[in-house]
Structures are given as C-alpha cells and as structure tokens.
Amino acid sequence: MSTIGVGLVGYKFMGRAHSNAYRQVAHFFDVDPKPRMVAVCGRNAQAVEEAAALLGWEGSETDYRKLVARDDIGLVDVATPGDLHKDVVLAALAAGKHVLCEKPLANTLAEAREMMDAAEQAGVVAMVNFNYRRVPAVQFAKRIIDDGLIGEIRHWRGIYLQDWINDPNFPLVWRMRKEIAGSGALGDIAAHSVDLARFLVGDITEVVGTMDTYIRQRPVETESGGGAGLSAEAGQEMGEVTVDDATTFLARFANGASGTFEATRLAPGRRNYNSFEINGSRGSIAFNLERLNELQVYFVDDPAGLQGFRTINVTDADHPYAAAWWPAGHILGYEHTFVHVIKDLMDGIAAGKSPHPTFEDGFRCQAVLEAVAQSVVDHGWATVEQP
C-alpha cells in the first residue's frame, strides 16, 4: 500500500475534524494511498505544537509556504478562515500538490474563479469540503432521485438554523467579520444548503433574497478567547458586526424547479438544524441533520390508506458507506462525514480525478452566494454567473 503525506493548515474546529478523519479512514476503508499525517500548520508555534501532539501529526510548521514546499507532503488541506483560502490554495497548486479546501471555496467570486482556473491548469486533484454531501442519508436521497422514484423535481426547501450567536454578549469572533469570513449566515451555513441543492436538484440560475444583521455590535474577543468556537471569551471593548446574521432567498433551477432557502445563526433552540425537503411528481424526500441517520420518504403510488411519510434508518449494509462501519441500526455521527470525504479524496487521488464537489462546484456555489448579495443591493432578481 502506498502513502501520501498530508499537510494541514489550521488546527481548531475544522482542523480537529479533518485530523480525526485522516486518523480513522484507513481503519475502516480500503484506501490506497493511505494518508500519512506529516505536519499541521498554524501561526502560534506553541499552540500548533500542542495541536500536533494532540491530533496525531508527526510535526508542525508556522508558515504555510514552508509546509507546501516540503517534499514529504503531497496533499495540502486548507482548514483556515476564508480570507486565507486563496493564498494557501494557490501556493499549494503552484507546488504541484493535491488540495482539499474548506467551504466556501473563497470569500469572493473573483477569488473562486482564480482558484478554479489554477486547479485546472495544475492538473492535480482539487476538492472542496462540503461534508454534508457525505451523510449516508443524503447519498441515499441522491440514489432515490436518480432512480426516478419521486419523479420530476418541482420544489426544494432548504433551512439551516443555528443559535450559537443568539446571545448579544457572545464575542465578535472572525465569523462575524466580513474581511475574514466574507459573509455571515450566507457563506457559513447557507452555502451548505446551496451545495446540497445543486447536488440533489441541479444548477441554480436566478435568485432574489434578503440579508439582515440584528445584533450590530458585540464585545471584541480576547486574545486568549479560543477562536471561532463556543469557548470564545468577550472583552470590554465593543466592535461592529460586518456580516449578515440571517438570509432568506428564492431560487430558480435550470431544470424548472423552484426553491426557497433560509439560514440564520439566531434561532433559539436550533443547534444545527440543517434540513431540506424535495417534492417531486411521484413523491417527496425530507432530511434533518440533527437526525442524520434518518431519511423520510413519501411515494404517491403507495396504496390508499397506507400513504404517509416513512422513516428509513439509513444504516443497512447496502446504504452508502454503511458497510464499512457497524451493523444496521448502530448509528453514525457528524465526524463520519469527514471520514467519507477523505475516503473519496484518496480514491480520487488514486484515479487521478477530482471527486465532487470540485473547485468548479465551489465556484458555482460561490456564484449563487454572490448573486444573493447582489439581489439585496438591487432589490430584484439576480442571474447566477456561470464558469
């Protein structure tokens, strides 16, 4: 079995999730190459050394340029805030490395296009980590749709609700600063809904939407506050929130379907409510990430008197990815989606082909986000730019 050296840039929330996936993937899936966790990179030398020891990396770096230049690294994983995606990705591509980049691909559509073009020219494997595609129930929904079991798709409803910044005293972390994050709920969580909609229904051609900021000032995070997570600590100084707290938008799909999207990080009681419903001419599908092992389906051809939504526990051996894990009914969790991403990434490297979502998928998602923002400015429908 061959190996490929991995260099990870970023070691907090997403860095931990990615690290766990690299540690686990070869224990459950037959992958070749097998990832070798060579080095993790971060600007704080002491913190990144501690992260390397905790997360299972052989060593650490404090400069991503040194990381991507190393001969023992063939894959660069970018798990940083959005403002660093372009620089790290372009450096990795220029060095001939394969790349996995966190979502959304970039903070602007111009950056996304530059990254997409660079990946194509480099001729390496380049993938965007929209991990919710790798939920077994989502993959099973795709199979049902592709098999025509719910007929012609007519409607998409995507709702992504969180509440982690509902407290106005929660500090001003990087996800609330436009110069770092690019946008708020739109890019942070609605991007997932857009990618799922594109994966399951098809390309989006037009949008019209709203973006609202309800808490306009927050305490500035202390230097020891812990970053973007719930452990962040607030100081005394106040700062301006420069991104949206919530967004809603309508969409038209290329295949004629219509869609609605809603995303907010101010929905009390909704911890990570990523859900969708798809209605077709012969049935419907419904999914909620907070019950990620379950898929609800309805078929109009069921006998009269027996019609209704049924709940499928997507853990049988013939369900996507399930055979590699536990017996039926022994459920999977959030962390497994990242293992599935790395499994498919390793398969893509072996085949010399970028797995979806590719950098073009990342561009197309970014184009929808940018069109939503433009529609807010123009107070009307906006056309989604194509590659």
- pLDDT for 337-357, tens place per residue? 999 999 999 999 999 999 999
* Residue 234 pLDDT class (50, 70, 90 cuts): confident
Picking from 339, 322, 356, 318, the residue whose alpha carbon sits closest to that of residue 31 is 339
Picking from 53, 54, 48, 82, the residue whose alpha carbon sits closest to that of residue 67 is 48
Question: What is the C-alpha to C-alpha distance for residues 251 and 265, in angstroms, rounded to an integer?
Answer: 21
Determine whether 280 is exposed, middle or buried from the number of CB atoms within 10 Å of its CB (0-12, 13-18, 19+): buried
Alpha helices in 77-162 (DSSP H): 85-94, 109-122, 136-146
Please give the residue that has the higher pLDDT: either 35 or 233.
35
Question: What is the C-alpha to C-alpha distance for residues 349 and 3, in angstroms, rounded to an integer?
Answer: 11
Mean pLDDT of the chain: 96
Alpha helices in the chain (DSSP H): 13-28, 45-55, 64-69, 85-94, 109-122, 136-146, 178-181, 185, 191-200, 334-351, 359-378
Mean pLDDT of 106-114: 98
Structural domains in the chain plus CATH codes: 3-132 (3.40.50.720), 136-291+293-328+365-378 (3.30.360.10)
Question: What is the C-alpha to C-alpha distance for residues 175 and 226, in angstroms, rounded to an integer?
Answer: 13
User: Which residues 6+ apart lie within 8 Å of 311 measured at CB?
Assistant: 294, 295, 296
Mean pLDDT of 146-173: 97
Amino acid, res. 309: F
Mean pLDDT of 87-114: 98
User: According to the model, what pLDDT value does residue 235 have?
Assistant: 76
Mean pLDDT of 59-63: 98
User: Which residues 6+ apart lie within 8 Å of 283 measured at CB?
Assistant: 149, 150, 151, 297, 298, 299, 300, 301
User: According to the model, what pLDDT value does residue 323 have?
Assistant: 98
**What are the φ and ψ backbone dihedral angles of 293, each rounded to 5 degrees?**
-90, 0
* Residue 231 pLDDT class (50, 70, 90 cuts): low
> For 105-109, 174-178, 235-239, 291-295, which range has the lowest pLDDT when averaged over its residues?
235-239
Residues 328 and 315: beta-carbon distance below 8 Å: yes
User: According to the model, what pLDDT value does residue 236 have?
Assistant: 81
Q: Which residue's entry shows tokens 């305490």?
A: 219
* Dihedral class, residue 104 (left if φ above 0, else alpha if ψ from -120 to 50, else beta): beta
Q: Is the pLDDT of residue 98 over 90?
A: yes
User: According to the model, what pLDDT value does residue 11 have?
Assistant: 96
User: Which residues 6+ apart lie within 8 Å of 1 measured at CB?
Assistant: 32, 33, 34
Residues 275 and 160: beta-carbon distance below 8 Å: yes
- pLDDT for 366-377, tens place per residue? 999 999 999 999
Q: Is the pLDDT of residue 228 over 60?
A: no
The fraction of the chain above a pLDDT of 90, given in percent, is 96
User: According to the model, what pLDDT value does residue 226 have?
Assistant: 54
User: According to the model, what pLDDT value does residue 222 have?
Assistant: 84
